[in-house]
Structures are given as C-alpha cells and as structure tokens.
Amino acid sequence: MSEKFDAVDVIRTKRDGGSLDPAMIDWVIDAYTRGAVAEEQMSALLMSIFLRGMNAAEISGWTGAMIRSGSRLDFGSLRRDGKPLPTADKHSTGGVGDKITLPLGPLVASYGVAVPQLSGRGLGHTGGTLDKLESIPGWRADLTSAAMTTQLEDVGAVVCAAGADLAPADRKLYALRDVTGTVDCLPLIASSIMSKKIAEGTGALVLDVKVGSGAFMKTRDDAAALARTMVDLGRDAGVATVALLTDMSTPLGRAVGNAVEVAEAQEVLAGGGPSDVVELTVALAVEMLEAAGVSGVDPANALADGRAMDTWRRMIAGQGGDPDAALPAARETDVVVAERGGVIERLDALAVGTAAWRLGAGRARKEDDVQAAAGITLHAKPGDRVTAGDRLMTLHSDTPETFSRARESLNGSVTYSETPASPIPLILGRVA
C-alpha cells in the first residue's frame, strides 16, 4: 500500500527540533504497529524525541494515536441493584515495596465504587503487581472482558493483565524503548501510562507519581512536570484525574518482593501493617472515592472493621485464588546486620530494589521468570536506632548463590547519624 509519509522525513523533523503534526503522528504510530516502519527507524525517532522533547500538542497526539491503535474498554454499563456503578483506578509510576494496589482496590470497592485495575509485571528494580498476586496459589491474571465485568458487578474490584488489543502500539513501543535507552523520557512515559489508562475506560484516575532514588523521577520538579502532563492528558480525554507526589527515597513498608508484599498487604487489610503503607493507601483511597463522587468518608474505617478484607477475599477467590492458602516461603535466608550503632538516616530504595531483583523477585528481561518467595524483609528503617550487630534486613531466596550479589547491591545503602533527622514527608504534593 502507498504510505502517506516517509519515516525518514518524520525522523528528520524531530531530529532538527521541529514539531510533529497530528497527521504525521497518527501515521507513524499506525505504520509502526503494522510493521511498515522498521525497528531501526522507530528507534531513531524515539531517540530524537528523547533529545528534543515534545510540546503538549504532540504528547496529546501521540497518546491519542496509541489509544486508537487498539480497542477501548467501556464500563458504562456496570450496574449493581439496578444502579450505575462509578469507576475509579490508580496508577503508580513504580517503586520499591509498592504494594499499595493490593489493599487499595478492595478498600475503595468496599464503598460501592468499581475498581478495574489493569496491572503489569515488574522489570528491573521495580516490582510488578501481577507478580506479587501470582504468589497466591491458584490466582490468575488473565481474564476476559466479560469476566472482568462480572467480577466488578459482583465484587467491585479486579486486578488483571491488559488484553493484547489494549493500546498495542504502547506495548510494542515500550519493548523498543527498553532496549534503546529511551525509557526515562517524560513525554514517552506520560503517553505510555495515559494511553493504557484512558483506553481502560475508567471514569476517574488517581496517579501516584514517585520521587526519589527508587523512582523514575529523581527530583520533585521532574515528578511534578510528569504529573501535570498526565493530569492534563486525562482531563482532555474526559477522565477525572488527580496526582499525588510521593516519596520513594526509602522502600514502602517493611517487605520488598512478591509473597512477602502480599503478606504485608493482608496485614493492612486486617487493620494493621506499617504506618507508611496505611497512610498512602488511605490517602489514595480518599482521592479515588472523591473523584468517583463518594465524599465525607474515612477509608481507615473499612480497614478497621474488616469490610476491605472481605472484599479482598472475594476478589482473590473470584480470580481462582485461595485467600486462606499459605504463601510461598523461601528455602534459604540470609541476615544483614548493622555495621555500627546509631540512628538510621538513610536506607536507599534503589539499592534495596536492586538487591530484591537479584534475589529473584524481579526480572532483567520480560521473558524471565520470578521467584514467588524471593524478597527482603526490613527490620529497621530511617529514624530507628540500632546497635552494631542488630538485624537490618533478611534476604529471602530459593537460590542462595544470589545472596552475594544482593549484598553487593546493598553496600553503602544505609547511613547512620547520632541524632534523628527530620523525616521526609511521604506525600510531597498534589496536582489536580
């Protein structure tokens, strides 16, 4: 077939600092998805975007073209007791120990809001929600659209993998970005996230934009810019969108991995759990509920009285899992102790995430398997006082030969002081 544009002309336009017009963007996304633009040509275009950036109109056009590359879900027909069910979702830009999706979905659903969460798998030091949930015996991530709809009407919450036809251009582009050094590019990050979330069909969206060593965005200014871009994309698409900027210089909670994070999420749903995980879960729940039209409630109550746990159990069972089954435990453990006494001043999130990945909790390539039981339990965090020889963390793995490389990742990850430092707030800002 005759093509409307030439890929080389598109590359030159962006290489030389020009703006891609809407027709050009629509063509290049469609042509790449169907194979008419070669991998090396799209690689050159992605690097040109990485170096030259995109203006707001280009980002919007790029996002829209990726949405149109596949189908869109529509949950407008959801009903319970004859009444429409509002929908809300949350997306995190990725972090270490970030198991918030697990308690958050059931918590919000317990207030009569449907939560369709299409999640992904981990790559590198950031964990994947589906990897965590698959540590529950029997639980399955792949559901049909009809099964999603049924579970949303019956239970209110579902966490599953996105279908192959949801923004397929993004799936193909992300794989290419991963091997061309163009992942950490604001326009491409924003359009990747929002194309999937808008295509998902939710009525409201809350974004958790991480800031710090364990996040894509290392500075608050960069995180705020990404948040603003995504909020604007959501608004322009008719999705009520708000973003929280949250700290990711230190791992969330005291568990990093797969099964260990599921266990910690269950503690939160039972009314306990680490204070930072509870704080962020409740804060995001408030935003999701208000965006869906439910205001004046304190989600902490649904954690305390067991409603959220009831919804969790039904959600897990609805996807084939056994909520009462024992979670996998690693065959081997290794304890890391404090080298000196003092108050822990810093515990680097990136170092801990990398160590968990090396233990088997994550993957270097999409094709790699993960160990359900691999991970790290933290016994002390910033602000805690320790003495030399106290336990800092326990490493879990089925392959003990990974312990040495995990320990290498942790070298220099902990710093001490004589007096407690002022804690970094967990929630750093809000963009709406």
Q: Would 242 be classed as within a structural domain? A: yes
- pLDDT value of residue 227: 98
Domain membership of residue 223 as a residue range? 79-318
Q: Would 424 be classed as within a structural domain? A: no
Per the structure, how many domains does the chain have?
A: 3
Instruction: Verify that 337 and 313 share a domain, yes or no.
Output: no
Please, how many CA atoms are within 13 Å of residue 73, restricted to the half-sphere of its CB?
27
Paired with 431 in beta bridges are 243
Percent of the chain with pLDDT over 70: 98
Span 116-126, mean pLDDT?
Answer: 79
Whole-angstrom Cα distance, residue 106 to residue 303? 10
Instruction: Verify that 49 and 193 share a domain, yes or no.
Output: no
- The yes-or-no verdict on residue 17 having pLDDT over 90 is yes
Q: What is the pLDDT of residues 343-366, one digit of tens each?
A: 999 999 999 999 999 999 987 666
Contacts of 279 (CB under 8 A, 6+ apart): 426, 427
Domain containing residue 164: CATH number: 3.40.1030.10
Q: For the chain, give the mean pLDDT.
A: 94
Cβ atoms 106, 158 nearer than 8 A: no
Cβ atoms 101, 129 nearer than 8 A: yes
Q: What is the pLDDT of residues 224-243, one digit of tens each?
A: 999 999 999 999 999 999 99
Instruction: Verify that 44 and 169 share a domain, yes or no.
Output: no
- pLDDT value of residue 385: 96
Instruction: Verify that 283 and 351 share a domain, yes or no.
Output: no
Whole-angstrom Cα distance, residue 228 to residue 207? 10
- The yes-or-no verdict on residue 120 having pLDDT over 90 is no
**Structure tokens of 307?**
């409603």
Contacts of 54 (CB under 8 A, 6+ apart): 19, 20, 62, 187
Whole-angstrom Cα distance, residue 149 to residue 134? 21
| pTM listed for this prediction | 0.94
- The yes-or-no verdict on residue 121 having pLDDT over 80 is no
Report CA-CA distances (Å) from 124 to 29, 47, 350, 357, 360: 27, 21, 10, 6, 11
Which residue type is seen at 195?
A: S
Which residue type is seen at 113?
A: V
- The yes-or-no verdict on residue 302 having pLDDT over 90 is yes
Span 199-216, mean pLDDT?
Answer: 95
- 4-18, 159-173, 188-202: range with lowest mean pLDDT: 159-173
- pLDDT value of residue 275: 97
- pLDDT value of residue 366: 67
Instruction: Verify that 162 and 293 share a domain, yes or no.
Output: yes
Instruction: Verify that 345 and 409 share a domain, yes or no.
Output: yes
- The residues carrying an active-site annotation are 91, 170, 177, 192, 196
- pLDDT value of residue 193: 93
- The yes-or-no verdict on residue 200 having pLDDT over 70 is yes
Instruction: Verify that 142 and 97 share a domain, yes or no.
Output: yes
- pLDDT value of residue 175: 84
Which residue type is seen at 187?
A: P
Q: Would 229 be classed as within a structural domain? A: yes
Instruction: Verify that 149 and 256 share a domain, yes or no.
Output: yes
Whole-angstrom Cα distance, residue 210 to residue 415? 22
Span 111-115, mean pLDDT?
Answer: 97
Helices 259-269 & 275-291 angle (0-180, nearest 10): 70
- The yes-or-no verdict on residue 1 having pLDDT over 70 is no
Residue with the larger pLDDT of the pair 278 and 216? 278
Q: Would 422 be classed as within a structural domain? A: no
Instruction: Verify that 308 and 280 share a domain, yes or no.
Output: yes
- pLDDT value of residue 179: 83
Last residue of a domain, which of 318, 340, 365?
Answer: 318
Domain containing residue 402: CATH number: 3.90.1170.30
Q: Would 323 be classed as within a structural domain? A: no
Whole-angstrom Cα distance, residue 213 to residue 432? 24
Instruction: Verify that 305 and 341 share a domain, yes or no.
Output: no
Instruction: Verify that 45 and 135 share a domain, yes or no.
Output: no
Q: Would 138 be classed as within a structural domain? A: yes
Last residue of a domain, which of 318, 347, 375?
Answer: 318
Q: Would 44 be classed as within a structural domain? A: yes
Would you mind telling me the total number of residues written for the chain in this entry?
Answer: 432
Helices 186-200 & 168-180 angle (0-180, nearest 10): 160
Whole-angstrom Cα distance, residue 113 to residue 109? 5
- pLDDT value of residue 123: 64
- pLDDT value of residue 105: 98
Which residue type is seen at 249?
A: S
Domain containing residue 40: CATH number: 1.20.970.10
Span 248-264, mean pLDDT?
Answer: 97
Residue 321's nearest CA partner among 158, 118, 100 is 158
- pLDDT value of residue 124: 64
Instruction: Verify that 142 and 234 share a domain, yes or no.
Output: yes
- 47-56, 125-134, 265-274, 300-309: range with lowest mean pLDDT: 125-134
Q: Would 428 be classed as within a structural domain? A: no
Q: What is the pLDDT of residues 381-412, one digit of tens each?
A: 999 999 999 999 999 999 999 999 999 999 99
